[in-house]
Chain A
Amino acid sequence: ETGVTQSPTHLIKTRGQQVTLRCSSQSGHNTVSWYQQALGQGPQFIFQYYREEENGRGNFPPRFSGIQFPNYSSELNVNALELDDSALYLCASSLGRPPRGGYTFGSGTRLTVV
């Protein structure tokens, strides 16, 4: 059983650029949640996808968008990057609503915006 895989692990972008982060969910999981964790802070909920549909969104602007594919993998896209977007982006997968067995987190993508 594979865990949650995120790519890339590290990324440096320039302000104003666009970025796409990828997440492969754990085998058998159908729900993916994305979180942003700024340095020294707790993870902030961005949005969740359940069976390819958005299932809730946190307090993030529309330039944060996502998609979930039929194999339940997911991408997070951020347009018009700002310096404050620098953070660790975490993906978590789970099975069912509410999830049975909790959430499994990936290792994260460290995004630096310069």
Chain B
Amino acid sequence: ELKVEQNPLFLSMQEGKNYTIYCNYSTTSDRLYWYRQDPGKSLESLFVLLSNGAVKQEGRLMASLDTKARLSTLHITAAVHDLSATYFCAVGDDKIIFGKGTRLHILP
């Protein structure tokens, strides 16, 4: 059974700082997704990573995938308050299984 673990589950950080969210998963998969969720809202797709070594960047967010280590990272550069949200990784080739999410709170 595929298990997806994120850490940390909660992160409070100052604006301007850098940080990384980690996503580990338990079985082989070449497909990993990152989503953002604002309170009371649905899931917004951030990145789709489809192969080992994939790296994608959008603004202050960069995601990477290492399928051999079964690890993905979401790196935040020079955080701003608008990035405060819950971030989920999800893994799967056919059906996707989500981690518990990382609640990111960026202090102005």
Contacts and interface: CB of A to CB of B under 8 A. Distances in A.
Interface residues of B, number: 19
Interface in B38-83: 41-43, 45, 48
Contacts of B97: 45
Interface stretch (A14-22, A66-74, A98-106): A98-106
Contact of A42 (B45, B88, B94): B88
Contact of B94 (A35, A41, A98): A98
B42 A42 contact: no
Given A102-B33, A104-B45, A42 B95 contact: no
A104 B35 CA distance: 11
B42 A45 contact: no
A56 B94 contact: yes
B100 A42 contact: yes
Contacts of B48: 101-102
A55 B94 contact: yes
A33 interface: yes
A90 interface: yes
B52 to A, nearest CB: 15
A43 B6 CA distance: 13
A42 B98 CA distance: 6
Contacts of A107: 41-42
A43 B101 CA distance: 9
Contacts of A97: 94
Interface in A66-104: 90, 92, 97-98, 101-104
Given A42-B100, A42-B101, A98 B42 contact: no
A44 B101 CA distance: 12
A44 B33 CA distance: 15
Contacts of B88: 42-43
Contact of B95 (A45, A104, A105, A106): A45
